[in-house]
Chain A
């Protein structure tokens, strides 16, 4: 994890690839943030503007909001996991190459 591979790329090209890597990370971060914001405010939008729909009873003991609420929680974790897996595999490897 902590092993640093001594890089021998010349500074100019490492500057370019550093910028590329930073841009890639930002793109991934922005896409995942947008997904989280869409999921959460999609849910809150229903909560604010369409309570009857969210209150649809699907079966005894289960309504739509009781399905969707925990799903928002689970998808938060799933998005975090996606980012961490990507960062650990792709991003960290890119950083090691830069050094």
Chain B
């Protein structure tokens, strides 16, 4: 790889910049409010970029470009699914979340219910999502860095794990936010430039690109196929998981707390939706560009399951320097996503489990910060160990599983807690646990684990009574979680339900401050 000096140059430039940011942020991170929410002082525009940075993983660029290169249109099914959850966050979730909660989504679910059981259940749901997503990211990162930079797998995982540890441990949310902003700017810039360079070969007309692709590989590349998503109900189930899973991803929801009020949170979701939408349209062009200008055969030959489509396209249309740049952007992308995930896991362990369950809400600031830092080290080490342990394993399903759990465990309880007066503690706990467990069990009994991982022949198991043909559990686990929540709410009673619900609705509307106060939402971080 002749350009590896260049890509390593970009790579070190990114490391130096983000470490400088972390040093700057570390001096401003004194309280838990800073550590978990950047003191609530991030602007809507910055948070929009940071949300895009948090959410767009390497899969969004490399993975989808690869799927489009080999299958054509079908890659877009994932792009669309990852976007349509954002309006749901905006309409139903972000403003109540910002006005009622402090650091985690369990703040909102537990607000008018019994703290301990709800927070324990919330932590189970959140940590399951984060653990599976983090493993999927670490393994993908290790093998991609090996492919892009030639660094051995174990070292790649250790480098990524250590960098995310440094960002989160010293710089907290402030450093993580700026790492996301820098990464998102690089990713958007690189993606748009790459798409434009592709289109210069086709008179700037995407239709000419698609026509060239269908001339070369048949009209099937412009039509929906069944290789990427097989099964009719599986497609619907995948859609459910992507839409409502996105709307309940803990690391995304946590960003609502970094801005000063509900209005800024609302605006930041709008900006993020625009950025992510534009990016996905670019990736579609990039995938078709790689199909026509590089060829699916050459991409497949490069290894990495199609992930090399975008970098090879960069090499073809922009030369060595651009190839190095896109590799470095992919690296920055992976690093930023795992940092965001780690921070939301730390928030759950420290704020939900330690402060509100173990210490009953009475831990001092110093103690909470200490616990947060210990939790950061623990999660980082765990991520590195698991990343190394799963080397070469097929863990792609874990990302989908994370979305399914978020959709079935977190989304129903969050929406019901915000909107339904009758919702009770047993209902919240059961719905989160049922959502988590049913997703796990269903995926275990599906071909994803039984055939792809355990290697059993499909014919031998498809007539077993326990066999589940769906690869995506959301279509069963999400309604199940809602049903359990509604049923238990109807047969159990919460104390002072009317008073607590009305108080919460008032807070959803007006925010944490007293309505009569003359000082707007400011100076909160001074506490």
Contacts and interface: CB of A to CB of B under 8 A. Distances in A.
Contacts of B393: none
B273 A69 contact: no
A13 interface: no
B87 A99 contact: no
A29 B87 CA distance: 10
A2 to B, nearest CB: 4
Contacts of A99: 510, 515-516
B76 interface: yes
A90 interface: no
A66 B73 contact: yes
B197 interface: no
Given A26-B419, A36-B87, A44 B235 contact: yes
Interface stretch (B147-155, B176-184, B203-211): B203-211
Contacts of A32: 87, 91
Contact of B520 (A2, A39, A62, A81): A2
B353 interface: no
Contacts of B206: 61
A76 B266 CA distance: 15
Interface residues of B, number: 60
Nearest to B261: A2
Contact of B263 (A1, A26, A69): A1
Interface footprint category on A:
35 or more
Secondary structure type dominating chain B contacts? helix
Interface string B59-78: 00000000000000100110
A48 to B, nearest CB: 4
Interface of A: 1-4, 6-7, 14, 18-19, 21-22, 25-26, 28-30, 32-33, 36-37, 39-41, 43-45, 47-49, 51, 54-55, 57, 59-63, 65-66, 69-70, 72-74, 76-77, 79-81, 83-84, 87-88, 92, 95, 98-99
B196 interface: no
Contacts of A79: 87
Given A37-B243, A65-B223, 8 more contacts: A2-B520, A6-B518, A21-B509, A33-B91, A40-B239, A54-B223, A55-B219, A76-B86
B87 A33 contact: yes
A88 B270 contact: no
Given A40-B239, A62-B207, A80-B87, A54 B224 contact: yes
A80 B86 contact: yes
